[in-house]
C-alpha cells in the first residue's frame, strides 16, 4: 500500500472520529456533570501481509467541572474523583449529575425516577419535614434524625461506558473503590466542556481533514496518469 495513501486515509479516519467527539461535546456543553469526550487513533499492522490499519476511538475526560450554587438542598455535587451510584433495571450506573428529588415515598431519586444508592440500606426522608442536611461525606440528617449515608464510589473512568441517559455503566468485573470526593450540598457540577476550545478544535480538524482529502485526491490523480496508455 502506498505510504502517502495510507497516511492520508489514517488522517481522515482520525479526523472523522475527532469531529464526532467535538459535535458530541458541543451538544452537551450545558449538560450537568457531563465529561467531555476525547478521541484517539492508533496505527497498527494486521496479519501476515502487515497491511497498515488505523483504529480510532473515544474516551471521557474526567476533569472536574465548575461547581455552581443552586440553593436547592437536594442538589448535590462531587468535588474530586468519584460517582453517585444510581440503581436502574439494567444494573448499577454512575453519575456526576446530582440534581436529585424526592419521590412520593420520600426516596431520593434522579430526575428520571431511578433511586440513588445508599450505604447499608436505602434511606427515606420525610417529605413534609424540615430540609435534609448532607455533609461532605454524604451523611444525611433531617432534624435530629440520621437518615443514612449516600453511596459514593470511585471507578476507573477508562473502563466506563456512557449510557443514553447521561450516566455511565461498567462492564462486569470492574472494581469499585471508596471515593475521597467531597459532597457539596445545594450545588451542581457543570459540564467540563469549554465551548470556545471545542470550536477552535473544530476549525483545526476541518482543515486537517480537507488537507488529507486533497492529498488523497492528488495521489489518485498521480496513479491515473501513471496508468494511462502511452
Span 38-89, pLDDT tens digits: 877 666 665 565 556 666 677 788 899 999 999 999 999 999 999 999 999 9
Average pLDDT over residues 9-37: 85
Give the pLDDT band of residue 130 (cuts 50, 70, 90): confident
Q: Which residue has cell 496479519?
A: 47
Burial class (CB in 10 A: 0-12, 13-18, 19+), 36: buried
Which of 40-54, 103-117, 145-159, 196-210 is predicted with the least confidence, judged by mean pLDDT? 40-54
Average pLDDT over residues 160-175: 90
Residues 78 and 182: beta-carbon distance below 8 Å: yes
Which of 14-23, 205-214, 217-226 is predicted with the least confidence, judged by mean pLDDT? 217-226
Q: β-strands 152-154, 145-150: how paired? A: unpaired
Q: Give the domain ranges of the chain.
A: 3-63+192-227, 67-189
**pLDDT higher than 80, residue 174:** yes
DSSP lists the bridge partners of residue 148 as 140
pLDDT at res. 73: 95
Give the pLDDT band of residue 156 (cuts 50, 70, 90): very high
Helix (H) or strand (E) holding 22: helix 3-27
Residues 168 and 160: beta-carbon distance below 8 Å: yes
Chain center to CA of 16 = 19
How many separate helices (H) and strands (E) can be counted in the chain?
2, 18
Count CA atoms within 13 Å of residue 133 on its CB side.
8
Residue 43 CA: distances (Å) to CA of 46, 58, 60, 156, 193: 10, 15, 21, 25, 28
**pLDDT higher than 60, residue 226:** yes
- The CA angle 218-219-220, to the nearest 5 degrees, is 90
pLDDT at res. 127: 77
- Look up residue 139 and give its DSSP letter: E
Q: Provide the mean pLDDT of the chain.
A: 86
Cell of 76: 448535590
Average pLDDT over residues 165-187: 94
Amino acid at each position: 500500500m502506498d505510504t502517502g495513501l495510507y497516511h492520508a486515509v489514517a488522517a481522515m479516519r482520525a479526523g472523522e472520529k475527532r469531529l464526532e467527539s467535538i459535535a458530541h461535546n458541543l451538544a452537551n456543553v450545558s449538560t450537568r456533570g457531563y465529561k467531555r469526550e476525547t478521541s484517539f487513533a492508533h496505527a497498527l499492522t494486521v496479519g501476515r501481509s502487515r497491511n497498515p490499519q488505523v483504529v480510532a476511538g473515544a474516551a471521557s475526560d474526567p476533569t472536574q467541572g465548575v461547581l455552581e450554587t443552586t440553593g436547592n438542598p437536594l442538589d448535590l455535587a462531587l468535588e474530586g474523583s468519584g460517582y453517585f451510584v444510581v440503581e436502574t433495571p439494567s444494573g448499577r450506573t454512575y453519575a456526576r449529575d446530582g440534581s436529585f428529588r424526592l419521590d412520593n415515598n420520600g426516596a431520593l431519586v434522579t430526575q428520571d425516577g431511578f433511586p440513588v444508592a445508599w450505604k447499608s440500606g436505602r434511606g427515606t426522608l420525610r417529605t413534609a419535614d424540615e430540609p435534609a442536611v448532607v455533609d461532605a461525606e454524604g451523611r444525611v440528617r433531617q432534624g435530629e434524625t440520621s437518615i443514612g449515608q449516600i453511596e459514593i464510589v470511585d471507578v476507573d473512568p477508562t473502563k466506563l461506558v456512557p449510557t443514553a441517559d447521561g450516566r455511565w455503566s461498567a462492564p462486569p468485573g470492574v472494581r469499585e473503590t471508596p471515593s475521597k470526593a467531597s459532597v457539596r450540598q445545594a450545588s451542581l457540577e457543570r459540564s467540563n466542556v469549554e465551548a470556545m476550545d471545542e470550536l477552535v478544535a473544530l476549525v483545526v480538524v476541518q482543515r486537517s481533514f480537507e488537507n488529507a482529502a486533497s492529498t488523497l485526491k492528488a495521489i489518485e490523480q498521480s496513479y491515473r496518469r501513471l496508468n494511462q496508455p502511452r
